[in-house]
Structures are given as structure tokens and as C-alpha cells.
Chains A and B, each alone.
Chain A
Amino acid sequence: MNSSLGRPNFLNRQSFIELNARERANVLMDVGSAREFLGPFDRIESPWLAAQGITPQADDGCVVIKGRIAGQAAVAVALEGAFQGGSIGEVSGAKMTAALEFAAEDNARGIPTSAVILLETGGVRLQEANLGLAATAEVMNAVLMLRRHAPVICLTAGTVGCFGGMGLVAGLASYVVMTREGRLGMNGAEVIQEENGIEEFDPSDRALIWAIHGGEQRQALGLVDALVEDDVNAIASAVQALIRKGVPATHRSSEIDLYRRRIQSLDPSHQWEPREFRNWWSNRLAEDRL
């Protein structure tokens, strides 16, 4: 209990996770600066879903908002996790790629423009197969292009999480912001079970899933730059702070030798528990820095 009304703190915060993709992208922008590109009334939707008997969404589950964050030009691209699991199809992928490429062009023309990608996605949309895979490669290319000029911030608040090819995109981001509710990885629990059996990964064990893919573990492994509460203000300030920080001296994905050495010294014959692994990894992290 903290406020004069005697309400516990969690009642005073505004949940970010409960917002849809459009609302999420909008609340990150400085007040009055947001402008949407290719919104639902432009009807740039997937031409493939209806042919397969699936209801499309007018914006293909990808929201592009241009505006200012912390006074600086920025573009936010949000995937709608509730629509087809936030999956990347031909259209949603092209929207994300184009937004990042335009931001890179703006930087080249002397207008510093950073990007926030809000990833709630299982990765490639299976119904659009190869087009989704190609889109993922294009998004990765665009992130690499943009991050030389300005920070690309990946925000995975939850609860869908960020997996598959988009998990790799997150790996390329300049900074990663997560909540404890968010999840980040490449193969999700269900995929691992399907491939290697329930002994390998039990997707009904939610505590296990979050112990491995959850924001807290990811931060402890040094893969997350800001672990924040599910609160609009907390998340917006974390994003603003990272934009002010600018391009990092070294991107995490460039530290190939460091990660290769660390993985080589890992004993895969041992059954690692998430917490044990976290301790081992962070001790290694301390040694690497010596």
C-alpha cells in the first residue's frame, strides 16, 4: 500500500501487455507525434490466408508508426500476437522491412532515426511458408543496415514471446527490452517436443518454459539490456533511455569469439538446470571480462 487512496502499487500501473499492437506502438511515441503508415483502411492484407480458409486482418497483424521518441525521429513496428500468433507473412514482413529500410535511408540523409520492433511472434507464418522465410531474411538484412546508424530496439513484453526467425532478428537488435512475462528463444517448447519428444521439453510445464525462455533468465544470461515491469511508463522510459544511449560500441551478435568460447567450454553431457546454468554462465561472463 503506498498511495493516499490506499491502493497497492500494481493497481496504479497501466499494463502494457494488455494493449494491442497498435496501442503498444502508439504509447511509445512522444505525445502527438505518432502517424500510422499502411493502416487497416489501406487494406494491405495477406492475399494467401483467405485462399486457405483463414480470416485475414486488414493490417496483416503488423502496425507501422512513425513519430518521435525522446524528441528524436523513430519508427515503431509492432506485431499483433493475437492474430495468427504474430506470425510473419509476405505482407507483414514487407511492412517491417520497408519501415526499417526507410529509417536507414533517413539516417543516411542526416536525419537520425531509430527503430523499435515490438516482437510478439512465433516466427514465420506457416501458411505463407517460403515467403515468410524470405521476409525474415529481409528483416534481418534491414536491421543490420539500420543498426550501424541508429539503435534498433527489440521489445518483447509478452505474452506470446518472440520465437523462430524473429528470435534471430531479436538477436541482431542493438538492445533487447523484456518483461518477466516475455519469452525469447528460437525453438519454442512445442516445437522441441514435436521434434525430440516430451522427455526433451514438456510444453505443459509452464514454470520450466519461463525458467528457460523467460525475461528474467534471459537477462541473467546477458541477453537483455533492460528487464522492466509490465507498466506503460516503465517500458516507455526504458526505450527512451536506450535511444538516448545511441548505437552500442559492440553489438552482442558481433561477439562471435566470446560466445563460441563459452559454448565450447559447456559440458553437454551434463543435464543443466536453468538456475545452475544461469550461475555458470554469469560466472563465465565475469571471467570473460577480466
Chain B
Amino acid sequence: MFPYLPHTDKEIKEMLSDIGVDSIDELFADIPSKVRFKGDLKLPKGQSELEVYTRLKTLADNNRQAVSFLGAGNYDHIIPSTVGALMGRTEFYTSYTPYQPEISQGVLQAIFEFQTLMCELTSLQVSNASLYDGHTAASEACALAINSTRKTDTILYSGTIHPYTKQVLETYFEDLNIKLVELPEKEGVLDTDSVKSRLGDNVAGLLVQSPNIYGNLEDYTGLSDLLHEHKSLLIVSSNPMALGAIKSQGEWGADIAIGDTQPFGLPAYYGGPSVGYIAATEKLLRKMPGRIVGQSVDEDGKRAFVLTLQAREQHIKRERATSNICSNQALAALGNTIYLATVGKEGLKELAEQNMQKAHYLAEKLKKEAGVKLAADQPFFNEFTLELPKKAADVAGSMEADGIFAGVVLNQLDASKPDNLLTVAVTEKRTVEEMDRYVQSMKGALK
């Protein structure tokens, strides 16, 4: 008995007779014997809801959590109850891509609002409906830069971007005759003096990240002008939560803004689903990857939303499309939209400031009381990197015994980094008691 299969034996018989065959097997007779699967799949047979739930609950309970100071692209923020309540509406989550606008205005309008929110945060003019995550968004942004600049074959990127982003870029571009050139860092930020000598006719763009992998904020004063003089584009990746307080991509003069919206109402969920956001200047619109929703009117002149500019997309352009993306992260982007509507203009500002205040509180206290130092003397948002007198993995291991995930051990993300760097993220959720406990635990670990 299978609860999702409604057919009775009698109905099956009648339907077969209407089709004009005697058995279901006859409907599979077109599968040549050579490639027909005989016998049973080696899987257990079906189970009841209770049995299935028990198994899943056992697996869920076989994971452990601790007070988390982990970040590097995925953060432990407050999720307002509105987000789950509305994302859980079946009208949203059991619908398909809104190909039929007449019966999809809910999803379409929500995406239109998402696009508006991303434009507002990044201070850029156009956004799409979402990409997969912040790392793949970097690939799409670099492809957009290559496609929008004539005769270019090189992407520059800062050594301070997330190491996983670098690795995704390498996979994406290695077979496309596109050169990826890493620019050096200096004291925990991009060495902007290194940019000029690398620019030339072949450079499509420069990808930078702020806050960067160490958590440090980077200064891009004059950078976009320099790039534009060489007809290259500036791509800035930012944690969108930071944009509530720090300078936005558009304010730095960037052409393309990207990042990962997990901090906006999405659970950590072992890294996914998240959303890659991308926003750009109007000039780049026709080369944007992915779905875009536009405003129009229906036959009665009523405002209506619809998927638009589809001539860019794979189902029309096939191999000449701007990207192969089809399914995106629509429901998660809806979650972001509900989150931002709920926290609102003032809420986002306050949250961003609290992140900054709490991270600074912990950093100062660690310096003063645990005698550790920051790897670089740079401004930061809600994440900073410690240079420890011991291996970071050992310190984190010891603090885990105190019920604390102390931070991300950087050389586990990138083996070329020193093994004593620990990147610590502090969100608005961490309390002063938890931070004080962190300092005590760190002191113990360093003994």
C-alpha cells in the first residue's frame, strides 16, 4: 500500500482495457529485452510514516551542535517566525517555475520584490531571480564580465576571496581558454597597488571580496575608475548582512555585485539551500544569467508580473545562451524576501550594527584577556582572524570539548595558508555570556 498512489485494482484494470492492453507489462514491452531490468532493485521495501520518521530522527540526533562562532560564508543568525510560516505555504513550495503568469502572480511578484531588494542593498540597477550560491554566482559574474567586454580572456581575482570561490572558478573556467590571475594580498587585504600593472586589453574584470575571507573590510577607493580606464569591470562580492552597515558595491562603483544570501533567514543546513545573488549595472542587463521577472500589464490593463528577457536563456538560445541555469533557488529567495520585509529598513541596520559591536567586543576581549592577536590590523564587520601561538585545529579541538565551535581553521579551506589562523564569526545571536565563555575556553586551550 502506498499512500501517494491512488489507483485501485479495479481502476487499473479498466484503464488498461480502455488503452487496449491486458497488463501494465505490455506498456513496457517497448523496452528491448537487452536493457530491461529483471528482478528487484536491491532496496528495502517501503515503510510507514512512523518507521521512516524514526529513522530520520535517529540520523538527525546523530549530529551534534555547539555554541557556534563558525562563518566563512554560512552564519548563525536569528530567523524570524514569519519566514518559516510563509515559506511553508504550500501554494509557494509546491508550484513550478512561473511559466504561466496568469496563475503564478504570487511567485512572480515575490521575485520582483526580491530583485528590488537586491538592487536596494547593492545600489545597482538590475538583479535576477537568484543563482545557486555565492560561489557559483562568482563564476556567473566572471562569465558575464567576459561576455560583456570585447576580446577579453582574463579574469583577475584577489587572493583574499573565499578559497572555495577560487576553486569553483578554476573548475568553471579551466576548459574555456580563460585565464585566472590571482593578485597578492598585503596585511590581510587585496594589495591594490598590484592591480594596475596587471590590467590590459585582455582583462575582462577584477573579482574582489569585502568582507574578505579573513573578515577584513577592503578599501576600493579609486579602483573602479582604474578598471574602467582599461574597459574592465569591477565585481565585488559581499556578505549581504554587512551591507546594512558597510559601503555597498554600487557605492564603490562596482559593475557587478554578488554574494550569498544565507544570512537572510535561511538555516545553515549544512551549507544548502542558500541563494547566490547577482546585481549589475543596467548596461549589463542583456547578458545577465538566469531568470528575470518584469512588470507588465494584463489584457484588462492591470499590473502583472511575468518572466521576461527570455531570449537570453537556454530554452530559446540553446548553446548560445548566456548561462545554462534553469532551476534556481526561488523558494530560498522568497525566504530572503520575507526576511528583509520583516526586519525592514531599521531592523537590518540595527542587526548589522549589533553584529559589528559584538564581534568587536569579542576581538578586544580576546586581545586583552587571552593575549592573542589579530592576524592583521584591519577594519572588520562580524568576522575576524586570529593568529594563534598554536595550531588553530588544536585550539578549536580543545574548545569544542567546552561546547564551543571556535571558528573556521583557515588552512583546512586552503592548505597554503598558515596553520595558526582561526577565523571567528560573531552574529547578533551570540550573548555576552557565550562570548565570555569563549574567552575563558580560549585561555584554557592556549595554556
**Is this pair of chains taken from one and the same complex?**
no
